[in-house]
Structure 1
Amino acid sequence: MWGIFSPYPSTTSDIKLVMSRDSKTSLEAGLAAVKSEDWKTAKTILETVAMDDNPQRAVQAQIGLVVVYAKTGDIAGAMTLSEILAQSNNPEIQEWANRSLEELLKRNRTDINARIEEDGTGFVPFEDFNDSKPNINETIITPDNTPNHDNHEHSSSIVPVKINKLPTIHWRRSGRAKTWQEKKLDLIPLRLLTAGSFVALFWVVRIIIVFITSTINNTLVWLPFLEPIQLLYQDPTTFLLVLFFLLIATSPWLLDKLLSSLYGIQSLETTVLEMHSQEALRILKRFNTQRRGNIKIKLLPIAAPIAFTYGHLPSMSRIVMSQGLLQQLTDDEIAAMLALQLGHVAHWDASVMSLVLLVTIPIYKLYQLVSTWGDRVNITFVSYIYIAISSLIYGVWCLCTGCVIALSQVRLYYADLFATNFTGNPNGITRALLKISNGIANDIQKQEQTNWRLESLNISLPVGFKQSITLGSLAPHVTFESLLMWDYLNPYRYWLTVNNTHPMLGDRIQRLLAIVGKWRLDRELDIDNTNAIKVRKQIFGLQIAPFLGIPTGLAFALLIGVVWQTLYALKILNLKWIYDDWGFAAGCIAIGFSIGTLIRINAYFPELKSTSIQTNEHLPALLTNPAAIGIDSHGVKLHGKILGRRGVSNSLGQDLILQTTSALIKMHHVSFGQPVNPQDFIGRQVTVTGWLRRDATPWLDIQSVRTQTGKTINSTHPIWATVVAVAFQAWGAYILLKG
């Protein structure tokens, strides 16, 4: 009983009780645990407080974590947090962090590879730290005595970080080549695709601008006493072209400001990078020497392991690495990811991707802002307006991002080969890619939603967050060889991933391991692409039936046009006055799409029979079938917890995930016409019945969601698919009849 009323936690139950109080009390308990050298308790509490919305308490918790990490041997973690704290404008925090960095740099670094293999947390004993550690009784970390002079302003640059721990996975740690022959790269296709992506983005943005300006002027014309703005009638082509080139030229500095203010990125000193990976620093210096570069390394303080590049010339490029990547990857894997990012600089595709970030990040932030406003509204009608506006903005963001999907896929194949040539370590690249996927899934599972940073930066990341959701979460339960088979064996994999932002991870790894085989090294994974997988052609035809209907309708329109032009020429039938402008072709295309959709509906949503429904224990086997495609679904009844964002920002259901005991599964749901939807059950245990589909990104089409209290939601997806098909058919018939 005394433990419960004690001011400091001494047992697990006490920790839970303390953490359930307000964050100030938890901070006091965490710092008290540091004083009593109860490192485990201190780490548990302070990592939670470090995520506090109050920047003052978050900074105090981070300072305490530096002491904890250093004492328990996580020198890399202590260095990273000290580097973040050193960026503060508060002079006392700066002084404290700089002294910590100096002391930590004096210590002999234990090999990070041995550390991670020995203990999943990366902790090893670190002796004699008491002589040099900062005094935790100093005023800057005492909860009640923190300096108040401009405290909020000084602390605003510090981003609280929660360190996530990856599930235990066995890694072979296969070796690397000592000498190797570099594979020559034909960069012409990549350069053409880069130019094509620039053109596609330019025209899409131009169409959006013209639509907005035309809508504004048409509205002004319609309203009384107002005149249209003549400037908005001007052709924006020249202005937009000049603007795009200016954005590319200034992208390093513009993105420095944008990412610093919105994402909290900070400079990462080479001494800190060296503490995490000495090889990465050597690779960076070698690249700068060869390319006359001056690449700057930035730190993104989030727990998900990601990296991306922006800029253009080697002397004006930046590589961003997250705190999670530095902590979850080993020395050679960090170096491999750095080399992969250097490939984007060397191949010049980073310039267009920088332009994409400059265009899409403000749009995404506007979508977030409108969603936040909508969450504050209590009037139903007004909230629907915010939902419509935010969904429209999100659609524009997706459209602009989609302009560079092809480049986003192809450039990663080139970057993988560049990194292989530069490091001679394809096994290390393989491990790094898999760990990133695993770390992203772990971060989503910890936060119980998709981090907005992951989604907004997704197009520029080495591994996509959507492909990581199931792959990364299922990895501790199933071998990577089984998980990746679909990616490199399914005969229709390239057709089914045309709208994916990233290439299939298994396909990339299979190519890397093919190089390992040529170099006669031991492979990290036993991947063999010699086995042929057969998928019935008629099944694939049903899968793409709506899209096949479009060229079929166009062909039918051409046939009709030729026939009645011939009949008119022969003076047999006069329909030319009706179809003189070939506008009827749009009607034929609409009818073709409608027929294809109707053909697919029954096969896409088969009846769910209780005798054939699969449950949680069958999930790993269903997800590792390399011959499956989306239409070849399995009826399932899964128990789990719904994860995702709440409120207006998730009005389209873009972030609905089912967390089961073995994997995370993306969910699709259509709730139009219903008063409730799965968003209302986020964070609750549910039973989901539906169709599990295995494509490049596995997903679950919901039929019904049932809570533990018996409340049920039914999806209207099949109904609305039928409505859309009938609407297109009616529209097409109207065009044909009207002429």
Structure 2
Amino acid sequence: MPSSEKLALEAGLVALKQENYYAAITQLVPLANILDQSNACLQAQVGLVMAYAHTGETDQAIAWCNNLIESDNSQVQEWAKRALDHLIKREKRLESQKKSNYAKLTQQQAKISRKIKSQTALSNAKFNISRDGKTTEKKNINWRQARRAKVWQPLRKYNFISSRLLALATFMVLFAVLVAMVESVMILTNQILDKFPYVSPLPFLYNSPSSFILVLLLFLLGLSPWLLDWILTEFYQQKPLAKDNLYNYSREAVRVTQRTCQMRHWPIPELKILPMTAPMMFTYGNLPRTARIVVSQGLLEQLNNDEIATIYGLALGQIRRWDFGIMSLAFLVTLPIYKLYQQASIWGNKSENSLWIWTTTAVANLSYGIWCLITGIILLNSRFRVYASDRHAAEITGNPNGLIRALLKISIGIADDIKTKQQTSWELESVNILAPVDVKQSLCLGSVIENLRWESFLMWESSNPYRQWFTINSSHPLMGDRLQRLCQIARHWHLEPELYFITPELLQVKPQSFLLQIAPWLGIPSGLILAGLFWLSWQTAYTTHVVNLKWIYDDWSFITGFLMIGFSVGTLMRINSFFPEINQHNLHNDQQALKLLIDPSVLPIDSISVRLVGKLIGRPGIGNSLSQDLILQTNLGLVKLHHIPWLSPSAHPQKWIGRQVTVTGWLRRGATPWIDIQTLETQTGNIINSPHPIWSTVLAVVAQAWGAYIMLTAQSITG
């Protein structure tokens, strides 16, 4: 038995002995789910029966008893039969008591609002009739329904200085990037004009666009609320949300909004609604008095009264921050670019003209790349404001547990929406930067809950010591970190938390694995250090008249050469470990893949070779020509796929979207679990290869050749 499983089993049994039943469940569920009939697995299942019995979750205890009865171990079978008999008798006794208590209910209790009853039943119902009359299937999730605070002390005052500095830095970087992009277009335009006869370059294109772009950004910042109103109304069917309509869904949300605005002397923000089935919320504006709070119909339908209130509390927390206007400005800049990507994809998919298809593909891919670049500028700002907004929502509602349930239900709703539509909708991706939950993180998190407990899946996100390094390209912090902070607030107010996070003892994460993981990026500073030593050596040699290499200090471009070579060496060092050989003997199945997802000690480089069967879903056609929306829908849940296409159009998997496929590749655990594809095969035998190791090698060789060329060119020029 691996040491990590042994430690988890020991920790679970110790927690069970200490009557810390929820902690025991968190530790034992991953082992029990392995289902390999080993002693550790059977011990874990026996422990779960006892833990669930003590927490009152009798249905779960009975389910594990039935599983143990099928065991090959006769002693375990006998114990399970006795335990099952005891549980069934206790269940009948409790039912009898419930009937007796029901008969004693007073007339006043019988007049409780039907709306409150339906909301209470929402979390445990298998099927539910939504407000539009449709029957929707609900996941059978046992929420703890941990209570909220009735009286609570304010949290420590938040320091806004860092957020203001970060907002200013974000604006400056956005300005600098836009200036660089516009200058590049201007220079390229004049270079093209200079090549044509009878045409001269345009003199005004040689002028710096800095002043114009600065004025334009300030202009957009001032008009952002009204410009976004128009865009969202025209292209997203945004409509005003009457206060009475919100009151029908959540009375508390109305009260929280009114009370908070009154305390801060703000006008009530304009309330808006989008006709989206996925649960979504975002805010925009430039000042509290021009703020808008937008929610989707799906959010109002899928969350309970108190959970909706916490999301509105989160929105009010965003409005009070200085980066509120900067985030709205970035949203205003990126939204038209994303709509260009969307529209070019739609036009190209409808056309049969080859030239038009190639043109729209180029426009779509270029606009998507620009959208990613500008969105990347505000990622750090986005992550920090989420932490502060969570804290504010918990403080003004006194309900951190309600916010935990709300965030998890939003993740489930996003995953369900993607499964229903068989792709990530344009609307979801375009507003993701302002959403309360990241769409990519929700893929696995919101769908794997059918196979795991929340705490098991989130253990990596709350305890892996290197986890923050893998959120650099994420718009939101890790959900495990966010929920753990909310649980700490609940404990601070002497509340039982909705989730029980346990930090595994003796968590073994090898530092050398992390260093190997980031080897390509470590090669860059290493190259800089080598360049400095190289310069110092030749400077000493020149001073002592040993060697005269004047180019070393006449042309500093040799530093760039060292940086490229350092990156190349780091990439080559990592390739074999990052892409280990895949063969029939080391392929893993669904259950073993599930085991990787709950292991808090792994890094993306600690991948396992998997062969998973599922349905390929994602955006069809040109909108997915960069493979940005490839997802495998499996029995485990939704898993993001990374594919590097060959130059041939026939090597793109978009044409197989909607089909059953078999994916072989490397499953990795990061902020978003994903599979680097090696091969993708259909039921008819068609195969697409994804050359991840080849392209990594090509990238390393090109970087090394480029670095050597820079150094040799510098020497020849100045020699």
What's the TM-score, normalizing by structure 2?
A: 0.81
Question: How many angstroms apart in 2 are the aligned matches of 1:680 and 1:123?
Answer: 36
Q: Which residue in 2 is equivalent to 1:356?
A: 330
Give the drift of 1:518.
1.7
Identity of aligned residues (%): 47
The residue type equivalent to 2:168 in the other structure is A
Alignment of 1:518-597 (within 5 A): 518-529=492-503, 531-577=505-551, 579-597=553-571
Match of 1:616 in 2: 590
Could you tell me how far 1:456 is from its partner in structure 2?
A: 0.8
Where does 1:169-318 land on structure 2 (aligned, <5 Å)?
Answer: 169-183=141-155, 184-291=157-264, 292-318=266-292
**Partner residue in 2 for 1:168:** 140
Return the match for 1:493 from 467, 482, 485: 467
Matched to 2:144, the amino acid is: R
- Structure 2, unpaired ranges of 5+: 1-112, 715-719
Query: Given the alignment of the two structures, is residue 690 of structure 1 paired with residue 696 of structure 2, yes or no?
Result: no
Matched to 2:683, the amino acid is Q
* Corresponding residue for residue 114 of structure 1: 120
Bigger drift between 512-521 and 575-584 goes to: 575-584
Structure 1 residues 636 and 464: CA distance shift in structure 2, 3 A: same
Pick which of 630-639 and 168-177 moved more.
Answer: 168-177
SS at match of 1:475: helix
Distance 1:117 1:580, change over 3 A: closer
Structure 1 residue 500 displacement after superposition: 1.0
1:239–1:601 CA distance, 2 compared to 1 (3 A): same
Provide the C-alpha distance between the structure 2 equivalents of 1:120 and 1:300, rounded to a whole number of angstroms: 27
Q: State the Cα distance separating 1:619 from its structure 2 match.
A: 2.8
Distance 1:108 1:640, change over 3 A: closer
CA–CA distance in structure 1, aligned partners of residues 390 and 587 of structure 2: 41
- The aligned counterpart of 1:103 is none
| Cα drift, residue 109 of structure 1 | 4.6
Match of 2:321 among 343, 347, 350: 347
SS in 2 for 1:173: coil
> Offset of 1:673 from its aligned partner?
3.4
Tell me: CA distance 1:243–1:540, structure 2 relative to 1, closer, same or farther (3 Å): same
Partner amino acid for 2:687?
T
Q: Could you tell me whether the CA contact under 8 Å between 1:564 and 1:576 is conserved in 2?
A: no
Q: Deviations over 1:143-188 (max 9, x none)?
A: xxxxxxxxxxxxxxxxx99996542311111100111111121111
Q: Letter of the aligned partner of 1:733 in structure 2?
A: A
1:586–1:161 distance in 2 versus 1, CA, 3 Å: farther
Which residue number in structure 1 is paired with residue 710 of structure 2?
735
Contact 1:641 1:684 in 2 (8 A): yes
Distance 2:115 2:491 in 1: 34
What's the CA shift string for 1:178-217, capped at 9, x where partnerless?
1111112111111111111111111111111111122122
Q: Is the 8 A contact 2:193 2:200 kept in 1?
A: yes
Where does 1:661-672 land on structure 2 (aligned, <5 Å)? Answer: 661-672=635-646
Q: Say what the alpha-carbon RMSD is for the aligned residues.
A: 1.9
Q: Which has the higher helix share?
A: 2
Cα-to-partner distance string for 1:418-471 (whole Å, 9 max, x where unaligned): 111101100001001111111101100110000111111111111100000001
Larger deviation, residues 603-612 vs 547-556: 603-612
The aligned amino acid for 1:182 is P
Once residues 600 and 304 of structure 2 are traced to their aligned partners in structure 1, the CA distance between those partners, rounded to angstroms, is 31
CA apart distance, 1:380: 4.6
Residues 577, 526 of structure 1: CA spacing in aligned structure 2 closer, same or farther, 3 A cutoff?
Answer: closer
| Cα displacement (A) at 1:385 | 4.2
- Number of the residue aligned with 2:694: 719
> Does structure 1 conserve the Cα–Cα contact (< 8 Å) formed by 2:128 and 2:135?
no
Q: Distance in 2 between matches of 1:686 and 1:336?
A: 41
Number of the residue aligned with 2:367: 393
Pairing 1:600-615 to 2, within 5 Å after superposition? 600-615=574-589
1:685-711 C-alpha deviation (Å, 9 max, x unpaired): 011111000011100011111111111
Instruction: State the match for 1:451 in structure 2.
Output: 425
- Given that 1:163 and 1:324 are in contact with CA atoms closer than 8 Å, whether structure 2 keeps it comes out as no
- CA distance, structure 1, for counterparts of residue 116 and residue 637 of structure 2: 34
Which SS does the other structure have where 2:320 is aligned? helix
Q: What residue in structure 2 maps to residue 660 of structure 1?
A: 634
SS in structure 2 at match of 1:367:
helix
How far off is 1:681 after superposition? 1.0
The amino acid that maps onto 1:113 is: Q
Deviation at 1:122, TM superposition (A): 4.0
Distance in 2, matches of 1:376 and 1:420, equals: 48
**Shift in CA distance, 324/163, structure 1 to aligned 2, threshold 3 Å:** farther
Aligned with residue 439 of structure 2, among 441, 465, 469 = 465
Q: For the Cα contact (< 8 Å) 1:280–1:338, is it kept in 2?
A: yes
- 1:175 and 1:377 mapped to 2: Cα distance? 56
Q: Are residues 618 and 118 of structure 1, via their aligned partners in 2, closer, same or farther at CA, if it must alter by over 3 Å?
A: closer
Could you tell me how far 1:610 is from its partner in structure 2?
A: 1.7
Partner Cα distance (1:161, 1:562) in 2 = 77
Specify whether residues 729 and 320 from structure 1 end up closer, same or farther in structure 2 by C-alpha distance, changes over 3 A only.
Answer: same
Unaligned runs of 5+ in 1: 1-106, 127-159
By how many angstroms is 1:662 displaced?
2.0
TM-score, normalised with respect to structure 1: 0.79
Deviation of the 1:532 alpha carbon: 4.9
Alignment of 1:53-92 (within 5 A): none
Q: Deviations over 1:646-698 (max 9, x none)?
A: 11111110000000012100000112234322212110001111100001110
1:377-409 CA deviation, whole Å, 9 max, x = no partner?
Answer: 435565344333321221111000000110110
CA contact under 8 A between 2:269 and 2:290: conserved in structure 1? Answer: yes
Cα distance, 1:197–1:345 mapped onto 2, change above 3 Å:
same
Q: What amino acid does structure 2 have at the position aligned with 1:202?
A: F
Conservation of the 8 A alpha-carbon contact between 1:633 and 1:693: yes
Answering whether residue 674 of structure 2 is matched by residue 699 of structure 1, we say yes
Preserved CA contact (<8 Å) 1:164 1:446: no
Mapped to 1, the partners of 2:247 and 2:334 lie a distance apart of: 33
Deviation at 1:533, TM superposition (A): 2.2
Letter in 1 for 2:119: N
Displacement of 1:371 after TM fit? 1.9
Bigger shift: residues 478-487 or 292-301: 292-301
Following the alignment from structure 1 to structure 2, what is the Cα–Cα distance between the partners of residues 208 and 163? 50
Letter paired with 1:676: A
Matched with 2:301 is: 327
Tell me which moved more, 186-195 or 647-656. Answer: 186-195
The count of residues paired between Structure 1 and Structure 2 equals 599
Contact 1:161–1:303 (Cα < 8 Å) also in 2: no
Q: Which residue of 1 aligns with 2:377?
A: 403
**C-alpha distance in 1, partners of 2:148/2:659?**
46
Deviation at 1:535, TM superposition (A): 0.9
